[in-house]
Amino acid sequence: MIANLHNADIPKPVLDVIGRLRELGHAVYLVGGCVRDMVHNVAPKDFDVATSALPEEVQRAFRKVIPTGIQHGTVTVVQGGTHVEVTTFRSEGDYHDGRRPSSVAFERDIVKDLSRRDFTMNAMAYNPVDRELVDPFGGQTDLQAQLIRCVGSAQERFSEDGLRSLRAVRFAAVLGFSLDPDTRAAIPATLSVFRKVAFERIHDELVKLLLTPRAELGLELLADTGLLDVFLPELARATPEAARLARAAVQAAPVELEVRLAALLSDLVDRTQARDICLRMKFPNKVADLVALLVEQAKLETRVGEPDAALRRLLARVGWVQLPQLIAVARARVQAREPQRRSEVEALFTRLESLAAAKPPLTPKELALTGADIMATLGVGPSPIIGEATRFLMESVLDDPSLNSADTLKRVLKEWHARTAR
């Protein structure tokens, strides 16, 4: 494990920042997720540096710094074109409301900083200059045993910050680890604190959980611990079988956020509820709208055998750009729910793909006649009839894309006008 650390690839700008602070006589370490990942032989996503230097001292030590979160002790050093976050050792005062500490204090001692962190595996520090690992809570042992364990009393730690219980489940899913029994037991016991956590914070953890290859297990653990009921009762209160199928659909779906959300929700709620759930979970409107559309159309197996014209109307509704995502949702659902129908629905997907590949006109903009052409053909000015005429032409072209030439549409339009004009 230590060997993994010594061999780890640490970017030069990060080493330079650490070297400089060290030269000035400060204590300085890599901390948190990057140390966990290096010990575990995984390439870290980012490298967080912690130091005994005060924020002003860090600012003075480097040419280019951004005071990102200076009141919390975080300064971003711009070094060799990359951003390195440097945070002064901190401890936290009492938590008043299970959401945020009443105060933070800067510390001189790394162990004080590590003791405020959530899990033993996240509470290690490594100094690559001296090759020194600080591991006061047995993080290495727990990593080796694949255990997620709180630093200190789980009940107390989850009562300080309700988000930590969700983080425990998220890490269990991402890493494929188990929860230490005390840590596990503290989750249902502190749900009242978790209820106070802002949805913005839940959002980030939920996204990470949904995008792991073990999302199914993560969702199951969320349900079993009672966390799910707090932010996604629609799933938590589904029948056990419906919940199992929803999880299996997520598991079968590609690792893409909108697809996984739609796979999760499409057999539990309708389009409006899906949109509301996404907005409640603080997803952007764009994500919520797409998930709603995917949920609305997800049951593609019901459309096997429909004529081309009906499938073109489906494409018009979904937009051909989003067709691959819709197919991914439908495929995942069918794989989870009715695997025996696989070849039948795959044939439908192929039909949809080739209909889309022919790029038929799907929107009024793509009609061979413009609004002005329609007015000229009918000899009328702007009036409600233009809208009606456009809808009629669009429907005709969806039925038969070969009609979409100016001459043919003019003829079709005149016939329609003669029929409808009184």
Cα distance between residue 262 and residue 250, in whole Å: 8
Residue 394 Cβ vs ligand ATP, minimum distance, rounded to whole Å: 47
Residue 54 Cβ vs ligand ATP, minimum distance, rounded to whole Å: 20
> Which of 7, 8, 161, 14 shows the shortest CA–CA distance to 85?
14
If the CB atoms of residues 32 and 98 are measured against Mg ion, the closer one turns out to be 32
Cα distance between residue 303 and residue 318, in whole Å: 14
Residue 45 Cβ vs Mg ion, minimum distance, rounded to whole Å: 6
161 binds, among ligand ATP, Mg ion, none (CB under 5 to 8 A by kind): ligand ATP
Cα distance between residue 82 and residue 176, in whole Å: 31
Q: Based on C-alpha coordinates, what's the Rg of the chain?
A: 29
CA 237, 239, 242, 244 torsion: positive or negative? Answer: positive
**Residue number closest to Mg ion, CB atom:** 33
If the CB atoms of residues 33 and 371 are measured against Mg ion, the closer one turns out to be 33
Contact 26, 53 (CB under 8 A): yes
If the CB atoms of residues 37 and 142 are measured against Mg ion, the closer one turns out to be 37
Cα distance between residue 75 and residue 55, in whole Å: 7
Residue 33 Cβ vs Mg ion, minimum distance, rounded to whole Å: 4
Residue 34 Cβ vs Mg ion, minimum distance, rounded to whole Å: 8
299 binds, among Mg ion, ligand ATP, none (CB under 5 to 8 A by kind): none
63 binds, among ligand ATP, Mg ion, none (CB under 5 to 8 A by kind): none
If the CB atoms of residues 164 and 184 are measured against ligand ATP, the closer one turns out to be 164
- Strand order from edge to edge, sheet including 74-79: 65-69, 74-79, 82-88, 48-51, 28-31, 125-127, 132-134
163 binds, among ligand ATP, Mg ion, none (CB under 5 to 8 A by kind): ligand ATP
- In the complex, the residues that contact ligand ATP under the rule CB under 6 A are 32-33, 45, 117-118, 122, 161, 163-164, 208
If the CB atoms of residues 161 and 258 are measured against ligand ATP, the closer one turns out to be 161
Q: What DSSP state is assigned to residue 95?
A: B
122 binds, among Mg ion, ligand ATP, none (CB under 5 to 8 A by kind): ligand ATP
Cα distance between residue 87 and residue 75, in whole Å: 6
Residue 171 Cβ vs Mg ion, minimum distance, rounded to whole Å: 11
218 binds, among Mg ion, ligand ATP, none (CB under 5 to 8 A by kind): none
If the CB atoms of residues 175 and 398 are measured against Mg ion, the closer one turns out to be 175
Residue 108 Cβ vs ligand ATP, minimum distance, rounded to whole Å: 19
Residue 372 Cβ vs Mg ion, minimum distance, rounded to whole Å: 56
Residues found in the chain = 422
Task: Using the structure block, give the residue that is written with the tokens 């595996």.
Answer: 121
If the CB atoms of residues 34 and 369 are measured against ligand ATP, the closer one turns out to be 34
For the chain, how far is it from start to end, CA to CA, in angstroms?
A: 86
98 binds, among ligand ATP, Mg ion, none (CB under 5 to 8 A by kind): none
Bridging pattern class, strands 28-31 and 125-127: antiparallel
266 binds, among Mg ion, ligand ATP, none (CB under 5 to 8 A by kind): none
Cα distance between residue 112 and residue 168, in whole Å: 21
Residue 277 Cβ vs ligand ATP, minimum distance, rounded to whole Å: 23
Cα distance between residue 170 and residue 174, in whole Å: 6
What's the distance, CA 184 to chain centroid?
24
If the CB atoms of residues 51 and 122 are measured against ligand ATP, the closer one turns out to be 122
Cα 94 to Cα 13, 25, 98, 157, distances in angstroms: 36, 31, 10, 11
Which residues lie across from 78 on neighbouring strands? 83
164 binds, among Mg ion, ligand ATP, none (CB under 5 to 8 A by kind): ligand ATP
**Residue number closest to ligand ATP, CB atom:** 33
Residue 159 Cβ vs ligand ATP, minimum distance, rounded to whole Å: 12
If the CB atoms of residues 133 and 274 are measured against ligand ATP, the closer one turns out to be 133
All residues at 6 or more sequence positions from 29 whose CB lies less than 8 Å from its CB, including other chains: 18, 49, 50, 51, 110, 125, 126, 127, 134
- In the complex, the residues that contact Mg ion under the rule CB under 5 A are 33
117 binds, among Mg ion, ligand ATP, none (CB under 5 to 8 A by kind): ligand ATP
Contact 100, 163 (CB under 8 A): no
If the CB atoms of residues 208 and 282 are measured against ligand ATP, the closer one turns out to be 208
